[in-house]
């Protein structure tokens, strides 16, 4: 029998309810969606829409109140904290708005950190870190400290760090939020290239429609529910002179 590749994310009736005194607030109201291997998805929504709650759940930073969540075929909704930490380190690469680099640590040492936690031997850590930095165009900046790098270069280091464990999912939270337009374009172009050329699955949170427009698919949240799931609306193609991922060479 032919085996099918599992969805990277398979959320079924995902619900998150927060209690505040006697009140119960449904931050997520039963979301069902899948992310397939090789997709590039932008998650959008206003503050309080549920998008951050959803991202915290699929990033294994929180657990749902109800529903099922599978990550790369693993049922993660009910895992204990230490089990979630192991799966998170092996299956998810995180890219944050603020880069989150260790300030007194070189680019290559920053990239090695996830592999150190995973227990990889030093020679393999160094080789894979070099390859990851070369892949994001920083092969000549291995020993530079973060304060010796531009904002765009720091974000590239963060992307290399996110990819070095070869995760099933790259989860990017407002990755262009601290960057100017020109640098944002370069980071988005890198995401498109990683997705198209290496088949890396990317889920990117953004509040900017022109950033979301470079993805193949947009998932928009409102009041804890998905209200849009499909290609980016045509009117969202605005200030970035960049082909969407579905059309990029």
- Of 160 and 117, more confident: 160
C-alpha distances in Å from residue 10, one per residue of 13, 33, 143, 154, 221: 10, 6, 39, 32, 17
C-alpha distances in Å from residue 51, one per residue of 96, 220, 231: 15, 8, 18
Question: Which SS3 state, helix, strand or coil, does residue 200 take?
Answer: coil
Would you state the pLDDT for residue 238?
A: 55
Summarised one tens digit per residue, pLDDT across range 40-78 is 999 999 988 999 999 999 999 999 999 999 999 999 988
In this prediction the pTM is: 0.89
Helix residue ranges per DSSP H, the chain: 51-58, 81-91, 107-118, 122-135, 151-163, 181-198, 209-212
Summarised one tens digit per residue, pLDDT across range 159-202 is 999 999 889 999 999 998 888 888 889 999 999 999 998 899 99
Neighbours of 230 (CB within 10 A): 10
Domains and CATH numbers, the chain: 37-64+85-236 (3.40.50.300)
CA 42 to CA 18: how far, in whole Å? 25
């Amino acid at each position: 029998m032919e085996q099918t590749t599992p969805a990277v994310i398979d959320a079924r009736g995902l619900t998150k309810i927060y209690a505040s005194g006697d009140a119960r607030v449904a931050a997520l109201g039963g979301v069902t969606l899948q992310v397939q291997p090789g997709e590039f998805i932008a998650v959008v929504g206003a503050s309080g829409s549920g998008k951050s709650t959803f991202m915290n759940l699929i990033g294994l930073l929180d657990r749902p109140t109800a529903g099922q969540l599978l990550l790369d075929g693993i049922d993660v909704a009910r895992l204990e904290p230490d089990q979630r930490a192991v799966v998170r380190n092996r299956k998810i690469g995180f890219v944050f708005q603020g880069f989150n680099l260790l300030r007194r640590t070189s680019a290559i040492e920053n990239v090695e950190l996830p592999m150190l936690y995973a227990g990889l031997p030093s020679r393999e850590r160094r080789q894979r870190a070099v390859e990851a930095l070369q892949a994001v165009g920083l092969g000549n900046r291995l020993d530079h400290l973060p304060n010796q790098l531009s904002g765009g270069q720091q974000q590239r280091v963060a992307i290399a760090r996110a990819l070095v464990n070869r995760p099933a999912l790259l989860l990017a939270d407002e990755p262009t939020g601290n960057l100017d337009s020109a640098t944002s374009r370069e980071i988005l172009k890198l995401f498109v290239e990683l997705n198209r050329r290496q088949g890396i699955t990317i889920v990117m949170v953004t509040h900017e429609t022109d950033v979301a427009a470079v993805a193949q698919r947009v998932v928009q949240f409102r009041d804890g529910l998905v209200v849009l799931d499909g290609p980016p609306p045509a009117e969202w193609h605005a200030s970035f002179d960049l082909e969407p991922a579905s059309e990029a060479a």
